[in-house]
Chains A and B, each alone.
Chain A
Amino acid sequence: MKRAFARRFNHPELLPLWLLTPASVVLIVILIWPIAQGILLGFFNTRILNYKAGRFIGLANYDVLLSDPFFWNSLKVTVYYGVASMSCTYLLGLSFALLLNRSLPLRGIIRTIFILPWAVPEVVAVLIFIWMLDAQYGVINYFFVQAGFLDAPVAWLAEADLAMPALVLITSWHQFPLALLILLAGLQTIPREEYEAAMVDGAGALSRFIHVTLPGLRSVNVILILILILNSFRRVTMIYAMTGGGPARATETLSILTYNTAFTYQKIGYAAAIGTVLLLILLAFSLVYFFTIIQTRRGV
């Protein structure tokens, strides 16, 4: 009996399963378990200070959420921030990737310099930018006033209309090296012969960009845009350090709203519900892009 049992578990086809077990356990403990806890917490009215007193309240958190103007504002802000920072980061990255893809003198050094922003810790970058954007001493105001674009210095981060563009600016500055690296890698996979064939076929520089470069970057683009959007949706540090979600909630993305709800307003149950919605949005994005990737692979 005992031997039969042992034989069944020693079966060679089960070996892969045993080998996967440790990794699976780790994943469950550090990934699945917390996520499940978070989702579960969304059905309770738990508050941080009296954690044990939380009661199960079903979908009440979600009910409140749907009629919460701050939630809808955050959703709007998140989409604005995500799309704007992704676009700027992508365009910056693409421009510099195209530049670095040419044979330039000192290309290695230039490439390293371009990657530096990414190496700067987010908080440090934010502090530098806050200083540069400062209404009284900031170099940006100084430049704009000197150049005649502005009559008087502006408190960028205190204006509801300007805080988000400033945030997008610093995000793009900080993140474009990532786009640059991925796009440069993508550019380098496009065979030189394709460009040469296009040249002989009569394509000018713009046509070559449209017919060779962009199609050649398609699969890289899918992954890059996904990464950039997902990163911007779940970014906390940079926004929190820069504006904390203000002024007047103009930069309060869903991540920031979740953070504020949990740790400023102490409503951790409600925050978990917001977090779950954010999770669902990210999941939806991931699935869309996942299937796009599969389709591109199959199509071409």
Chain B
Amino acid sequence: MASVEFLRVAKSFGAVTAVADINFEIKDGEFAVLVGPSGCGKSTLLRILAGLETATTGSIKVGDRVVDDLQPKDRDVAMVFQNYALYPQKTVAANMGFPLRMRGVGRMETEKRVLETARTLGLEDLLKRYPKQLSGGQRQRVAMGRAIIRNPSVFLFDEPLSNLDAKLRVRMRAEIKELQQRLKTTTVYVTHDQIEAITMSDKIVVMRNGRVEQVGSPLDVFDRPANRFVAGFIGSPAMNFLEGQIVSSGNGQEFVTASGLACQLPDMWSQPVNQCASIGIRPEHIDLAEEGTPGAFSLRISVVEPTGADTMIIARSGTDELSAMIKGRHRLVPGDSICLKPMPGMLHFFASDGTAIRV
């Protein structure tokens, strides 16, 4: 068990900066997810932590130890790779026992612990098989077995579910989370899938272009995104953004978009008026409203997507577009006009540089 601390970590490959100025801490036993679009540096950061890459500057602490100059094998971390990286010529048992054998654990002891680990993961019947004879989910489990068998201080997962089909991914997601809760081992998990990030983590680290955009609990990041990028990246379906400005009118302040959509602002709005350049509304925070309701947008429906439980609507007015996830089923026809009202207090405001404005 150990905490992990990144101290001003940076890495460049030649002239290309992969990650820069990374500073955050993962507490002992925490499940942290590094999330961001491809090429944001999340995998690089994980590989630096594993010791497979060396940081150009900065330092990493695992527990109380600075691990910068340690070999991967001496860092007491275990890693699960995206394509599992099982040893193809070894059986499942030999794959799982390998880290123990490499650490000089005896044959009998290794066999015993392989069996224990296999039981934990439901792999008892597969021990004599070779990786080629396993399904994707089984390989994934063997890779996890190889990681947990030696009881490391930190687990590292590098997009471990991206090679699985959608259904299996959901199941393995739950399995990994359950396993982590049982073992209480500090975990760093890399993914580009924000749903994985939200559902699995205790702490989300959102990255873009080699920098950390926000660190926080999943709900915190969801509710209070630090900037427009985080707001748009976290959450599915993605947040709507409307560009425009705030104008004062007779009955308080209004947000008016370029194409003329207007939205009344809450009374508590007290920030300097000219700062706000766009507002964000999550699709699930939009309700149907009667024609003429104050603070509602009047739009024309372009697409209706019934999802079974809810109805997804995409509606436009000029260049503005809103997607709304309306509870229940509704008879709506594309081309009809519709009135949509953001739920009170659920608006997000962003300055022109993208940073969030708290109200």
Q: Which residue of B lies closest to A193 (CB)?
A: B85
Partner of B81, one of A193, A202, A299: A193
Chain B, 83-113, contact with A by CB distance < 8 Å: what is the 0/1 string? 1011111100000001100110000000000
Shortest C-beta distance, B281 to chain A (Å), equals: 42
CA distance A275 to B340 in the complex (A): 92
Let me know if A200 and B78 touch, CB within 8 A.
Answer: yes
Let me know if B85 and A197 touch, CB within 8 A.
Answer: yes
Let me know if A199 and B87 touch, CB within 8 A.
Answer: no
In residues 203-239 of chain A, which contact B (Cβ within 8 Å)? 203-204, 207, 211-212, 215-216, 218
Let me know if A218 and B89 touch, CB within 8 A.
Answer: yes
Q: Residue B146 at the A interface, CB < 8 A?
A: yes
Q: Residue A194 at the B interface, CB < 8 A?
A: yes
Shortest C-beta distance, B11 to chain A (Å), equals: 16
Let me know if A300 and B130 touch, CB within 8 A.
Answer: yes
How many chain B residues touch A (CB < 8 A): the figure is 26
Let me know if B87 and A212 touch, CB within 8 A.
Answer: yes
Across-interface contacts of A202 in B (CB, < 8 A): 73, 99, 102-103
Shortest C-beta distance, B335 to chain A (Å), equals: 52
Let me know if B89 and A197 touch, CB within 8 A.
Answer: no
Among the interface residues A193, A216, A218, which one has the most CB atoms of the partner chain B within 10 A?
A193
Across-interface contacts of B103 in A (CB, < 8 A): 202
Let me know if A200 and B88 touch, CB within 8 A.
Answer: no
Q: Residue A12 at the B interface, CB < 8 A?
A: no
Across-interface contacts of A204 in B (CB, < 8 A): 73
Known: A200-B77, A202-B73, A202-B99. A300 touches B88 (CB 8 A): yes
Across-interface contacts of B71 in A (CB, < 8 A): 199
Q: Residue A201 at the B interface, CB < 8 A?
A: yes
Across-interface contacts of B130 in A (CB, < 8 A): 299-300
Known: A299-B130, A300-B132. A201 touches B88 (CB 8 A): no
Let me know if A197 and B81 touch, CB within 8 A.
Answer: yes
Q: Residue A196 at the B interface, CB < 8 A?
A: yes
Shortest C-beta distance, B88 to chain A (Å), equals: 6
In residues 118-151 of chain B, which contact A (Cβ within 8 Å)? 130, 132, 146
Interface pairs (15), CB distance under 8 Å? A191-B85, A196-B50, A196-B72, A196-B79, A197-B81, A197-B146, A199-B51, A199-B72, A199-B73, A200-B156, A201-B102, A202-B73, A211-B98, A215-B87, A300-B89
